[in-house]
Amino acid sequence: MSEVNSMVRPELELATLIVDTLNLEVAPEDIDPEAPLYGEGLGLDSIDILEVALAISKTYGVKLRSDDADNVTIFASLRRLNDHIQRHKAA
């Protein structure tokens, strides 16, 4: 794991899930954990976010709803998304 972006293991696992789910042409360890996921940054669109939310639900048992007022914050970056998952995942 690269120390350049100081990604912790759960973030790397989430980055790997995102890359695999969306067939992205970027290495999971190359994703900046603070970069925006939506739009600039990783460049995900609303369909990508829906696919990621479904994969997170299946993998971590965390339900991410499209009408959640906090989605802008939750999906702000890999780090924020990981923090949300870690707080809400099934034991």
Residue 68 sits in a domain of what CATH number? 1.10.1200.10
The whole domain housing 83 covers 9-88
Asked, for residue 4, whether it belongs to a domain, the answer is no
Tell me, what's the pLDDT at 59? 96
Flag whether the pTM goes above 0.75. Answer: yes
Closest CA to 83 of 69, 67, 68, 62: 62
Tell me, what's the pLDDT at 33? 96
Number of domains, the chain: 1
Tell me, what's the pLDDT at 7? 87
Tell me, what's the pLDDT at 4? 47
Asked, for residue 20, whether it belongs to a domain, the answer is yes
Asked, for residue 2, whether it belongs to a domain, the answer is no
Mean pLDDT by 10 residues, the chain (91 residues): 68 98 96 92 92 96 91 95 93 65
Distance CA 69, CA 16 (A): 26
Helices and strands (DSSP H and E) totals, the chain? 4, 0
Tell me, what's the pLDDT at 1? 41
Asked, for residue 14, whether it belongs to a domain, the answer is yes
